[in-house]
Structure 1
Amino acid sequence: MPLHETASLWTSLKRTMNHAFAMPPPLDLSDNDRALLDRIADMIVRRRLAAPAMMILELARPLNFVAGQFLHFVGPFATLLLKEREYRRFAEILEHRQGIDALLNAINQKASDTDSVGINTPRNTHGTVE
């Protein structure tokens, strides 16, 4: 192999490796994005699905990009709950690790607000609070 080809190969490899382990830029959520996550968290908490949703989000954390891509796949069905543009943005948010954290925080906040009002307070068979 001629010397100039070796140098070219080395330069190409070096350029590629400079970005091999680069971290993606932090997710910058707008006020609209936060409002969207709050609405989704509210839908989850109202249906009493906070615990299963949080478990699924934690399990999907290592595969967040794949989970976001899956959301694009099921988009036609999910637009029954959200507008198409909002749903696409939601899928884009979940493709970032910080997006999962933001949604988990929103669900936690809504669930704790709901519990403080007494909606999820356990009741005994007589209908009184335990």
Structure 2
Amino acid sequence: MVMIKKWLAHAFAVERPEDFAPTVEQQQIADRICREIIRRDMVTLAILTLETCRPLNYIGSQAIHFFTPLLSILVDPRAQKIFADFLEQRGSIEWLCQRLEFLSNVKPEDRAPSAEPAPSGVSKNDDS
């Protein structure tokens, strides 16, 4: 009876978005995508779209896996798989939105890839 109770306690457990931390490879690929969005001056539209589609991030990741044969013509298949794995995680959309906001507020001369901290350390009220 105790084992069943322990199992049921975590049977429907879902990871918390706050606990999300991307791997180094995932962060590099996400940063590349963020920089392209910033270069095209589409930050507001991208954040709005990401927030609107937040509940569908897992479905979107599965669509990327499904269309791998077609997308591999345009995108590196390994990077595509890493990004799809990134999107499968619950906190990825929030992390991506924070990263877009952070990178769009960084001065162009300060945008060296190695000098950028992860968005988890960024406060929304921080003006530095």
The residue number in structure 1 matching 2:90 is 97
Name the residue aligned to 2:118.
none
Structure 1, unmatched stretches of 5+, are 1-9, 118-130
The superposition leaves residues 18-48 of structure 1 with CA deviations (integer Å, 9 ceiling, x where unpaired) of 4432123744422222122111100111122
Work out the CA distance in 1 between the residues paired with 2:108 and 2:26.
Answer: 25
Structure 2 unaligned runs (5+)?
Answer: 111-128
Could you report, residue by residue, the CA deviation over 1:45-70 in whole angstroms, capped at 9, with x for unpaired residues?
11222222111211121222112112
Give me the CA root mean square deviation. Answer: 3.1
The residue identity in structure 2 corresponding to 1:23 is V
1:87 match: 80
Distance 1:106-1:77 versus aligned 2 partners, 3 A rule: farther
Is the 1:42–1:110 Cα contact (8 Å) retained in structure 2?
Answer: yes
CA shift in 2, pair 1:46/1:75, >3 Å:
farther
CA contact (8 A) 1:57 1:104 kept: yes
Cα shift at 1:107: 1.2
In structure 2, the partner of 1:6 is: none
* Structure 2 residue 55 is the aligned partner of structure 1 residue 62: yes
Alignment of 1:8-47 (within 5 A): 17-24=8-15, 26-47=19-40
- Separation in 2, partners of 1:74, 1:48: 27
For 1:14 and 1:86, how far apart are their aligned partners in 2? 41
CA 1:41–1:62: 2 relative to 1, 3 Å = same
In structure 2, distance between residues paired with 1:101 and 1:85: 23
Larger RCO, structure (CA 8 Å, separation 6 or more): 2
1:95-124 Cα shifts (integer Å, max 9, x gaps): 11211122112211222226899xxxxxxx
For normalisation by structure 1, the TM-score amounts to 0.64
Contact 2:61 2:87 (8 Å CA) reproduced: yes
Identity fraction in percent: 29
CA distance in 1, matches of 2:74, 2:35: 12
Question: Highest CA radius of gyration, 1 or 2?
Answer: 1
